[in-house]
Amino acid sequence: MPLLRIASVLAWVLLAFGLAFLVPIGVAIGRSEGAGWAFVGPMALVLLLGAALLALGQRWRPHRAQELGVRDGILLVGLVWTLLPALAALPLMLYFEGVGRPLSFTRAYFEAMSGLTTTGSTVLVGLDHLPGAINIWRGFLQWLGGMGILVLAVAILPLVGAGGGSLLRAETSGPLKELRLTPRIATTAKGLWSVYAALSLACVLAYRAGGMSWFDAWMHMFTTMSLGGLSNYDASFGHFDSAALEWIAIAFMLLASGSFALYFVAVLKRDPVRIWRNAEWRGTQALMLGAGLAVAAVLVWQGGAAADLETLRRALFNLVSIASTTGYASEDYTLWPAFAPWLMLILSGMATSAGSTGAGIKMARLLLLIQLARHELTRILHPRAVTPITVGGAVVPQAAIQSVLAFMLVYGVTVLGLTLLLLLGGMDFDTAFSAVLASINNMGPGFGEVGPAGNYAGLSDFKLWVCALAMLLGRLEILAFLVLFTRAFWRK
């Protein structure tokens, strides 16, 4: 019965994902390109697979006694985030095979995983000359993965309404994900996607007004709002060489770094001031803007840059891009004084809010860890004092504290372990460490060979699989994936 429940919901997810292939097909037709054929066969395969699973699971109908449980949700999320990249990779393999530049499954899977997890790493070169359908597919995958495939499923599929809470908890990020925004999970998911879509529309219009073509505006909206950072140009955002477009990108990256749940509640309650009152949102904006000013000061002090608005923009754009896990680059920032790129890398994934499209540690955990440290300092001075741990004036439950401490331990061990694997493969330390951190934080560029002036094309298959695993772990916040390999998970 549990397998029937999972098969039934997975079927609807696959059917919905199959329709996503219409986007690059439509682009190919609209631009009179010949690349649309590469998506027709994979779309048919995905739809047939979804129909087959639907027939298999048709005996299950959701009712009170058969709702999706927590284990069902975790297993389904794991299946979706490992299966969909394999299916999304098929058009890439077919296209490059058709043009005489075969792309192995490993490299196609890496590219698709980078897209869906909103990482932004790429193994492709000559992006400027790729068909629009191929590039828009890469960007659209990031936009879908930004809010989450399964959050979309909870929003639009009535079948998932029963037990949809387990999917939403397994899919969403942050230490306080048990909180419900509305009485109905489906209403919450629809609200999140509505806010995401509204801000996405504003972003594409702003990019168009800033001078991008409609195609570039849609492409970079997909990868800005998802904090993904893939571009259809090898020079990334630096291709445009436009101050106006970089300021627009900064604004929307900062917006996307905030919690969409917070935006939804502010709209629902008609209380926009609620956003400013949120401690995590203020912390997110203050950390990125403050760090951007620090980088600008370093560029003036040690880098010989002029103390003007252009230097501030250069520093802010690249800092916000990396700290928010977007991964755009307007120039090779690894050539800046060492303080700047290392600060940017360390901050990656630390500044975004829980409930945003970013990954990594999240500001909520950072604030909680700061409060824990303050609590311990107070306890040393006043051993008998009873001081609850609060964030933003709210007392943090003990379960959330334990979850954060466990996450930080596993996060550190995972980064160390994967870095050692890359070192075993012959990488230098700076490249290996930065590649793992960039992958697990779903940020993209690292240092050295995988820096903003290069990409992941030169990595061996072994190294690409290590980085793809890091992307998956980062997207699912590590614990939600590792629990699948525990004996307790499979015990009845």
Q: Reduced to 3 states, what is the DSSP secondary structure of residue 174?
A: coil
- Nearest-angstrom CA–CA distance, 176 and 400: 7
- Nearest-CA neighbor of 333 among 404, 428, 426, 238? 238
Rounded CA separation 294/260 (Å) = 28
The answer to whether 323 touches 351, Cβ cutoff 8 Å, is yes
**Rounded to a whole number, what is the distance in angstroms from the first to the last CA of the chain?**
13
Of 414 and 476, more confident = 414
Where residue 255 falls (left for φ over 0; alpha for ψ -120 to 50; beta otherwise) is alpha
Structure-model confidence comparison of residues 263 and 73, the more confident one: 263
Q: Identify whether 323 is part of a domain.
A: yes
Q: What is the DSSP letter of 394?
A: E
**For residue 436, what is the enclosing H or E element?**
helix 429-440
Tell me, yes or no, if the pTM score tops 0.75. Answer: yes
Residues with Cβ within 8 Å of residue 382, at least 6 apart in sequence = none
What the block records as the tokens of 280 is 């995590």
116 within a domain of the structure (yes/no): no
pLDDT > 90: percent of the chain: 54
As given in the structure block, the two tokens for residue 266 are 């502010």
Q: Is the pLDDT of residue 306 over 50?
A: yes
Which element (helix H / strand E) includes 395? strand 394-395
For residue 64, pLDDT over 50 is answered with no
Q: Are 281 and 275 in contact (CB under 8 A)?
A: yes
Which one, of 344, 340, 337, lies nearest residue 302 by Cα? 337
* Angstrom distances, CA of residue 43 to CA of 11, 136, 207: 14, 16, 30
Domain that holds residue 294: 272-347
Spatial contact of 294 and 325, defined as CB atoms under 8 Å apart: no
Segment 183-203 shows an average pLDDT of: 83
Return the pLDDT at 167.
Answer: 56
The total domain count for the chain is: 1
Do the domain assignments include residue 117?
A: no
Beta bridge partners of 390: 395
Distance CA 376, CA 200 (A): 43
CA distance 225 to 242: 19
Whether 378 is covered by a domain: the verdict is: no
Q: Which pair of tokens denotes residue 295?
A: 């980088």
Q: How is residue 341 written in tokens?
A: 């790129």
| Confidence (pLDDT) at 432 | 95
- CA proximity to 317, closest of 198, 452, 435: 452
Residue 165 confidence (pLDDT):
55
Model confidence pLDDT, tens digit, residues 477-492: 888 788 888 888 777 6
pLDDT of residue 66: 54
How does 96-118 read in b/e, with b if 16+ C-beta sit within 10 Å? beeeeeebeebbbbbbbbbbbbb
Q: What is the pLDDT of residue 307?
A: 87
Asked if 196 and 225 count as a contact pair (C-beta separation under 8 A), the reply is: yes
The sign of the torsion formed by the CA atoms of 330, 334, 340, 345 equals positive
pLDDT digits (tens, 9 = 90+) for 418-460: 999 999 988 999 999 999 999 999 998 999 899 988 889 999 9
In a domain, 189, yes or no: no
Give the type of residue at 412: G
Q: Which pLDDT score is estimated for 29?
A: 94
Q: Point out the least confidently predicted range of 168-177, 284-293, 392-401, 467-476.
A: 168-177
Residue in 366, 319, 312 with CA at minimum distance from that of residue 344 = 319
Structure tokens that stand for 359 in this block: 């990954």
Token pair for 352:
């975004």
Query: How big is the chain by its Cα radius of gyration, in Å?
Result: 22
Residue 307 lies in a domain: yes
The span from the CA of 360 to the CA of 347, in Å, is: 10
Residues 404 and 479 sit within 8 Å (Cβ to Cβ): no
Mean pLDDT rounded to a whole number for the chain: 87
297 falls within a domain: yes
**Closest of 299, 284, 306 to residue 341, by C-alpha:** 299
Q: How far, CA to CA in Å, does 292 sit from each of 239, 278, 344?
A: 22, 21, 9
Least confident of 94-103, 300-309, 464-473: 300-309
